[in-house]
Chain A
Amino acid sequence: MKCQRCDKQAAFHITDLTGETVSAVHLCPNCAKDYLEPQQAKKVETSSLMGMLSKQLKVGQTAEQLAALDQKVCPICGISFFEFRKQGRLGCPHDYTFFHEELEPLIVNIHGVTEHKGKTPKHSSISNEAQMQLIQLRRQMNEAVEKEDYEQATHIRDLIRQLESGGRE
């Protein structure tokens, strides 16, 4: 049997389980290596997640509404909904609250439910508010450094230190 991607002898007969239907793929060692690279598997995973999301968003939303949604930016970490859609990764813990409406149908699609069951952390040394403030301050400090406003950056760094030590003994 010949490789499906080039003309060499196929040595690997792989069952593809990632698609809608299971199919067999016949490849030579070289092409099999490319095919099985986890890097590519990752891409498929992300793209199917994003496909799921875009399908969902199209339901009951006009193009303008979608464009407006893409502009929505988390006030804590600064990620836009567009960036999340593109990368498939969220920017900070607050996104689960801030993009709640958009995320919930996606989460239902993935997990079937929306309520955590199981373990909870035993310690939480920093309040929720302080956690968000810290993420926001770190971003502002980075921005100040970028603008070479070192005075402002130092000021923010001190605020961060205060907050960090406030939560710990």
Chain B
Amino acid sequence: MKVDHFPNPVGPWMRGNGPQSDIVISSRVRLARNVAEFPFIMRCNEFDRANIEATVSRRLREMPVASTCNYFNVATLKAVDRQYLVERQLISRELSENQGARGVLVDRDENFSVMINEEDHLRIQVMRSGLDFEGAFQQIEALDDAIDEKVCYAFHSQYGYLTACPTNVGTGMRVSVMLHLPALVLTKQIEKVFRSLQKINLAVRGLYGEGSQAMGDFYQISNQITLGRSEYELIKQVGDVVPVIISYERKARHFLLQDSRDDLQRQVRKALGTLQKAGQISSEETMHLLSKVRLGVNLGLINDLDIPTINRLFVYTQPAHLQKMRGSEMDTTQRNKARAVYLHSQLELPSGDAPQS
């Protein structure tokens, strides 16, 4: 199966139409699972890996739900295609860069994916737009049950689902949200928030997604503990704290609007202007500026753009997406120019409505 453009411009989870999606980009749940009759990846030779990939992918494709999925043999994909899947967050950077037999089953609508031979034999993940753990949880339960019928999971009566790394043992479940917190960053409150999160065993990563190098005020919050709490308790642990952070971010946004509206407006317009006029631009700077623009749109400081457009730009300005659109491979300099051209075409405002300061 070739990696081609997916039917949707971006996965539905990136569309920006879910609950609280001005701040919550996406909700995600992943499960780490291993097949009982094979050694963990670390002790597999090439032959074992090939055996696992063949066995597990065959069984996965027997599932009814697989009829609306594509299976990609990641080992045979070109680097740009692997990167494309990473940018859409359908596979991890680790799976992309691992050696040997490996693959991924991807839902055509990109609501879920199942990686084979990542750090564990199986990594099942479900994504949702905005704050929607209930939906993600229901789907991953169903997926896990369906896979459970096809393979024999490594399980221990005391330790639960067994994983290659003891940090994932138990439920094997990582619940995470991707938050856009530009106002907490601008008001320098972010550290305080994170310190308090770490005290209650939540992990914070100042990154745009796992395995993506993109950034720009995006933070991922997830549970650190996987053992001794039920799946539902883990969902609740992360789910309960998100509304609190959302309220902090909203307060900070409100404060910025009251305290320094003009300054903020200038910053936001300058960011938009740079994105519209740059002759070449790196993907990091793009993230950084898009983050400002996103805040501006959410605060009503920019009226001609909407959040789905901005969200799409975050994905489409990344290297593999640019190259796929262009239909050819490009080096960094070529990409920086192509990125600027693309941004220009997407951010062109109706005539007479050009940004002014």
Contacts and interface: CB of A to CB of B under 8 A. Distances in A.
Interface in B118-142: 119
A119 B211 CA distance: 28
A131 B156 CA distance: 12
A164 B36 CA distance: 12
A142 B47 contact: yes
Interface residues of A, number: 63
Interface in A82-109: 83, 87-93, 96-97, 103, 106-107
A113 B226 CA distance: 10
B331 interface: no
Given A29-B282, A93-B156, A116 B165 contact: no
A38 B154 CA distance: 28
A12 B97 CA distance: 26
Contact of A33 (B161, B164, B204, B213): B213
Contacts of A165: none
B159 interface: yes
Interface in B17-55: 34, 36-43, 45, 47-48, 51
A55 interface: no
B207 A116 contact: no
Interface stretch (B227-235, B241-249, B270-278, B308-316): B227-235
A17 B206 contact: yes
A135 interface: yes
A40 to B, nearest CB: 11
B190 A15 contact: yes
A131 B36 contact: yes
Nearest to B165: A89
B43 A79 contact: yes
Nearest to B97: A39
Contacts of A134: 37-38
Interface string B178-218: 00000000000011001100100000111100111101000
A164 B37 contact: yes
Given A117-B230, A131-B152, 7 more contacts: A79-B43, A89-B40, A90-B42, A96-B156, A111-B227, A118-B160, A138-B38
- State the 6 A-B residue pairs at the shortest beta-carbon distance, nearest first: A116-B160, A113-B228, A118-B230, A91-B43, A111-B227, A93-B154
